[in-house]
């Protein structure tokens, strides 16, 4: 990210980070940090950059400098979601939709719980899982696992690991679409709790 704006900075930059978010707790802390720095840098030297531009800068900084093979999900959530909404993100089309999510109005709260289990994208299993999903899609002859309509379409996978990865993606995609449909219909979010 800094390299993308280096020419405009005209020199170095000192950044102080102070947080109580547990490192590696799975709260997208690295994306939140890179997005915060991107917002600050844009304010200083590149105010013409859109938030969508900053999503790409933040992703590139994690990919190119940290070595984490991430996509744009965490960065998009950090930079594009608005209060009172969930962000529905289509990473293929690079399209987003704000889907109303007012938990307080129906007496619900969102809890974030630190399980004490840490992970990292750069040297954890994330890259391996991503490659396995790409292998599963290739074996199934589809551009991506999102192109598999349902778990029945995974029958051709004879590798247990690839099957587990693919099943997770296919069922998660279906669950997300179901939840978004419930929220678009302005239904009670609790109705989608079983999704």
pLDDT tens by residue, 131-147: 999 999 999 999 999 99
94 and 163 both lie in a single domain: no
Active site residue 14: no
CB neighbour class for 167 (10 Å; exposed up to 12, middle 13-18, buried from 19): middle
Q: Give the number of domains in the chain.
A: 2
Looking at residue 105, its pLDDT comes to: 83
26 and 68 both lie in a single domain: yes
98 falls within a domain: yes
94 falls within a domain: yes
What phi and psi values does residue 136 have, to the nearest 5 degrees? -60, -45
* b (16+ CB within 10 A) / e for 30-68: bbbbbbbbbbebbeeebeebebeebbbbbbebbeeeeeb
93 and 7 both lie in a single domain: yes
111 falls within a domain: no
Which of 90, 122, 154 is the last residue before a domain boundary?
122
Question: In the chain, which residues have pLDDT < 50?
Answer: 1-2
Q: What is the pTM of this model?
A: 0.81
CB neighbour class for 180 (10 Å; exposed up to 12, middle 13-18, buried from 19): middle
Query: Catalytic residue among 20, 43, 64, 74, which?
Result: 74
74 and 132 both lie in a single domain: no
195 falls within a domain: no
161 falls within a domain: yes
What phi and psi values does residue 126 have, to the nearest 5 degrees? -55, -50
Residue span of the structural domain in which 75 resides: 1-103+116-122
């Amino acid at each position: 990210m800094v390299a993308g704006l280096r020419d405009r900075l005209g020199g170095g930059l000192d950044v102080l980070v102070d947080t109580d978010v547990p490192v590696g707790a799975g709260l997208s802390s690295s994306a939140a940090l890179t997005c915060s720095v991107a917002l600050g840098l844009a304010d200083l030297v590149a105010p013409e950059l859109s938030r969508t531009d900053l999503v790409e800068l933040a992703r590139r900084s994690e990919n190119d400098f940290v070595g984490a093979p991430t996509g744009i999900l965490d960065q998009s959530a950090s930079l594009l979601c608005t209060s009172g909404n969930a962000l529905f993100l289509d990473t293929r089309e690079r399209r987003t939709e704000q889907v109303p999510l007012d938990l307080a109005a129906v007496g619900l709260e969102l809890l974030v719980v630190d399980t004490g289990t840490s992970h990292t994208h750069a040297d954890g299993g994330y890259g391996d899982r991503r490659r396995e999903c790409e292998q599963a899609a290739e074996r199934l002859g589809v551009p991506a696992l999102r192109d598999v309509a349902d778990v029945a379409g995974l029958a051709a996978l004879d590798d247990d690991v690839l099957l587990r990865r693919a099943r997770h993606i296919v069922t998660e995609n279906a669950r997300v679409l179901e939840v978004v449909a419930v929220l678009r219909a302005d239904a009670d979010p609790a109705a989608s709790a079983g999704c």
